[in-house]
């Protein structure tokens, strides 16, 4: 198989159906002890019953079809080689595999890979190879990949070590967390250049990420990467000051405006970066619109609020900004397609 040859060329060893590359850290919504508990029953219960039993709060994150709402933009086809970088539990890997393309799913957390492997077996999807490796240390040689998928990963690239999201936030944990002390922009740029080098001459990148200037950040919505409010839109030096006060370290989970994202991709070598806008966000997109299609926008973020007053306020804000004024600069998330 072509994928096997590529992975062997990267000096990866295969064991129990999983390729192992250069070791990295740990990134998961679950603590390690939680992951260890569910793995024992995974082969007996199957993926869905295991998730329902041990972490039902993440069931939709793993299995909801909304998670793959942006993938039609890729226009993937049978026989293509697509690499899902930071695949976690396979929310995008599984839908990609169902299109008939060949998928390489990479994650640095073995427990996430093992759950994905179970899902692939249950869904009878043999066209996926799973890889456990550090996302920043793996590199595809010889321009071998048709398309890369980077979904909610770029902003985490400056992190290193163990990241257990349940323990992640707060000053005590923040002061102990490991992170690469290089400039976050430089680290993200280096990562994207590696992706660029792995693409075929006509290859493309699918990138999904939050907007630094999401309108609801200005109303106090916490940054999902550090749980601090009113930080994403500050100048970088002020972001660092605030983060050092509350977390004991600089702010490194950089997100961007549309212009900043295009600049970063261009410097990495990409061209023709087309930006779409995901609502209510890229994680479970209900709408993905271009600038020209903003007139068809319908408010959706307000549906997640419990308080009726907040729902009405959010409805009005979204209707005015996005449907009437078409101010894409304040959209919550971006989905970008960029060509090599």
Evaluate if residue 271 carries a pLDDT over 70: yes
Confidence of residue 170 (pLDDT cuts 50, 70, 90): low
DSSP H/E element including 259? helix 258-268
pLDDT value at residue 28: 87
The mean pLDDT of 69-73, rounded to a whole number, is 94
**Residue of 217 and 6 predicted with greater confidence:** 217
Q: Which of 158, 140, 121, 118 is nearest to 27 (CA)?
A: 158
Burial-class residue 225 by CB neighbours within 10 Å (0-12, 13-18, 19+): buried
Per residue in 216-268, pLDDT (tens digit) is: 999 999 999 989 999 999 999 999 999 999 988 899 999 999 999 999 999 99
The alpha carbon of residue 212 and the mean position of all alpha carbons in its chain are separated, in whole angstroms, by 15
Read off the pLDDT of each residue in 279-305 and give the average, rounded to a whole number. Answer: 87
Predicted TM-score (pTM) of this structure: 0.93
High-pLDDT (> 70) share of the chain, %: 91
CATH number of the structural domain 2-297+330-339: 3.40.50.150
CA distance 4 to 140: 13
Domain ranges in the chain are 2-297+330-339
Find the distance separating the first CA and the last CA of the chain, reported in whole Å. Answer: 25
* Statement: residue 136 has pLDDT above 90: no
Q: Per-residue pLDDT tens for 192-202? A: 999 999 999 99
pLDDT tens-digit profile of 10-63?
678 888 999 998 886 788 888 888 888 889 899 999 999 999 999 999 999 999
| 285-301 mean pLDDT | 91
The pLDDT of residue 161 is above 80: no
Q: In terms of pLDDT, which residue wins out, 31 or 282?
A: 282
Counting residues of the chain whose pLDDT is more than 90, the rounded percentage is: 69
**Residue 184's pLDDT band (boundaries 50, 70, 90)?**
very high
- Take residue 304 and report the two structure tokens written for it: 């997640």
pLDDT in tens, 255-264: 999 999 999 9
Enumerate residues 6+ apart whose C-beta is below 8 A from 95.
65, 67, 68, 71
Within the chain, strands assigned E span 13-15, 18-20, 26-28, 81-85, 102-107, 128-132, 145-151, 162-164, 199-210, 271-279, 287-289, 333-339
Confidence (pLDDT) at 175: 41
Instruction: Decide if 271 contacts 291 (C-beta within 8 A).
Output: no
Beta strand pairing call for 81-85 and 145-151: parallel
């Amino acid at each position: 198989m072509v994928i096997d040859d590529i992975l062997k060329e990267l000096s990866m060893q295969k064991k129990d159906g999983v390729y192992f590359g250069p070791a990295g850290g740990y990134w998961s919504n679950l603590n390690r002890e939680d992951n260890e508990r569910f793995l024992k029953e995974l082969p007996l219960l199957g993926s869905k019953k295991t998730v329902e039993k041990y972490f039902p709060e993440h069931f939709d994150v793993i299995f909801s079809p909304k998670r793959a709402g942006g993938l039609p933009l890729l226009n993937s086809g049978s026989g293509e080689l697509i690499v899902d970088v930071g695949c976690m539990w396979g929310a995008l890997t599984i839908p990609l595999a169902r299109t008939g393309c060949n998928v390489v799913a990479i994650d640095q957390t073995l427990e996430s890979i093992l759950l994905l492997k179970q899902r692939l077996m249950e869904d009878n999807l043999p066209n996926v190879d799973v890889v456990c490796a550090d996302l920043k240390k793996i590199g595809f040689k010889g321009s071998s990949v048709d398309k890369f998928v980077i979904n909610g990963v770029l902003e985490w690239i400056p992190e290193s070590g163990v990241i257990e999201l349940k323990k992640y936030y707060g000053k005590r944990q923040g002061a102990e967390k490991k992170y690469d002390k290089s400039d976050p922009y430089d680290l993200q740029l280096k990562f994207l250049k590696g992706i660029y080098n792995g693409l075929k001459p006509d290859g493309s990148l699918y990138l999904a990420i939050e907007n630094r200037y999401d309108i609801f950040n200005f109303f106090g919505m916490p940054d999902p990467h550090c749980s601090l409010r009113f930080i994403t839109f500050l100048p970088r030096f002020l972001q660092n000051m605030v983060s050092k006060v509350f977390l004991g370290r600089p702010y490194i989970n950089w997100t961007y405006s549309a212009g900043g994202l295009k600049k970063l991709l261009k410097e990495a070598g990409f061209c023709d970066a087309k930006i779409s806008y995901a609502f209510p966000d890229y994680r479970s997109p209900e709408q993905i619109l271009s600038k020209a299609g903003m007139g068809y926008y319908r408010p959706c973020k307000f549906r997640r609020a419990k308080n009726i007053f907040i729902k009405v306020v959010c409805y009005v804000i979204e209707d005015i900004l996005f449907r009437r004024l078409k101010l894409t600069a304040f959209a919550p998330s971006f989905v970008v397609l960029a060509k090599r």
